[in-house]
Structure 1
Amino acid sequence: MKRWLVILIYIVMIAVVWVNKDGLLDWMRHGEIPMYLAVLVVAGLAFFPIVPFSIVIGIMGFLYGPVTGALLSWLAAWGAGMAMYGLFRYAFRKQGRALLSRYKTLDRWTDMVEAHPFRFVLAARLMPVMPQYIVNCYAAITGIRFPVYALATALGKLPAMFVLAFIGRNILSDTRSLILMLGVYALFLLLVYVAFRFWKKKHGEST
């Protein structure tokens, strides 16, 4: 009964955010929003993934500058990730684990992830390919411990936050710096991807 209540509350909150998403974004763009309230709004938009979060980070960079905007977005996203981890750990871990065990490929992948949890979460955060709410839910239903998840998430989210906040601040003004930043970030992502593929191949063959 408690689990269904949690699901119902989450669905209702998603619906509320969805209905008001345009108003929230306009308010952030044009209103004088206090910093603490901005963090709460950003955390809500991260916890209920209705709006592409890159847009939210860009707005924060535009409002507060690339450094402050990135750090505020990072704090809000980290807090939302911890809350989502706790929600799924408490309410859906048994069901999620049972679902993973039905598929041999996923089960083997989970064994590899649980053997190297910090590297997996860090790589998943650094490479913005997998939706972040999936990373949160997957980490919660596996054996990844909270301290490992929290630290890897905190470190892995930083690079993208700074890049997206920088883009939000400079997208209409400093095109040259913007292109340079995107090039450096693309190279960084390529290196992370190559390292992750090498690690996956090495440990995949040994399992």
Structure 2
Amino acid sequence: MLKIGMVVLLYASLIAAFLANQELLFTWLAQGGIENLPWMIGTAIVTAAIPFFPFGLIAAIIGAQYGPIWGSLINVISSTIAAALTFWAVRRLLQNGGRSFIAKSKRMDRFMLFFERNAFMAVFMARLIPFVPAQAVNAASAISQMPIGSFVLATLIGKIPVMFVFAFMGDQIFSSLSNVLITGCIYLLFLFMVYICFRWRKHAS
């Protein structure tokens, strides 16, 4: 219980520190440069691990500073590391309690059973959609029996498209707003096609 309290306190401290220094943080992020790259990656990992934090904003700033290719790489690596660390923490501290809580509800228990049977695809699909809360996916995966290797691989692959979109939008936001809008529309179409394929596969099986 003490370990859980320490984790909650750490998260609360990170959120409070960000809120108190957000203007300074965004100014510093906007400077970019190779010399700031390690700190940029560290900041991206921390912010990606904060629940409900709009990481897409940080990803766009990184894209604006380092371009769509390097920006995408930084975003994917940082967010995947953050997801893996969260997965590890939840599994170590909350898995047993989480499973006991879920077992009390037949509906949640059935959902977890379905999730475990389709764990890789579920995580992969969730990573493609920027509106799905990343920490909820991390927690559900950690409480389940999903191997951490499968979780990291599904996260890594699933984050590539959306992190490229964020980085590209950040790179283009000040030079071509039309490119930003077109990219957003193309990605929405891509998500629709993925959904259609998923529904077809589910119906076929």
TM-score, normalised relative to structure 1: 0.89
Alignment match, 2:184 = 182
C-alpha offsets along residues 83-135 of structure 1, whole Å, 9 cap, x if unaligned? 00011000111121122222222211111111121111111111223201110
Structure 1 stretch displaced more, 6-15 or 52-61: 6-15
d(CA) in 1 for partners of 2:110, 2:183: 38
**Matching residue's letter, 1:76:** S
Alignment match, 2:18 = 17
C-alpha offsets along residues 67-98 of structure 1, whole Å, 9 cap, x if unaligned? 11111011110100000001100011112112
Alignment match, 1:35 = 37
d(CA) in 2 for partners of 1:61, 1:121: 24
Alignment match, 1:8 = 9
Q: How many residues align?
A: 203
Q: Return 5+ residue gaps in structure 1 as ranges.
A: none
Report deviation, 1:31.
5.7
* Runs of 4+ deviating beyond 6 Å: none
d(CA) in 1 for partners of 2:19, 2:129: 26
TM-score, normalised relative to structure 2: 0.90
Q: Return 5+ residue gaps in structure 2 as ranges.
A: none
Decide whether the 8 Å contact of 1:101 with 1:107 is kept in 2: yes
Report deviation, 1:178.
2.8
Alignment match, 2:170 = 168
Report deviation, 1:145.
0.9
d(CA) in 1 for partners of 2:122, 2:180: 29
Q: 1:85 to 1:202 in 2, by over 3 A?
A: farther
Alignment match, 2:57 = 55
Question: Which SS does the other structure have where 2:21 is aligned?
Answer: helix
**Matching residue's letter, 1:24:** L
Decide whether the 8 Å contact of 1:18 with 1:50 is kept in 2: no
Alignment match, 1:117 = 119
Structure 1 stretch displaced more, 38-47 or 1-10: 1-10
Query: Which aligned pairs between 1:13-162 and structure 2 lie closer than 5 A?
Result: 13-30=14-31, 32=33, 34-49=36-51, 51-162=53-164
Decide whether the 8 Å contact of 2:32 with 2:66 is kept in 1: no
Decide whether the 8 Å contact of 2:95 with 2:142 is kept in 1: yes
d(CA) in 2 for partners of 1:21, 1:168: 18
**Matching residue's letter, 2:182:** L
Q: 1:196 to 1:128 in 2, by over 3 A?
A: farther
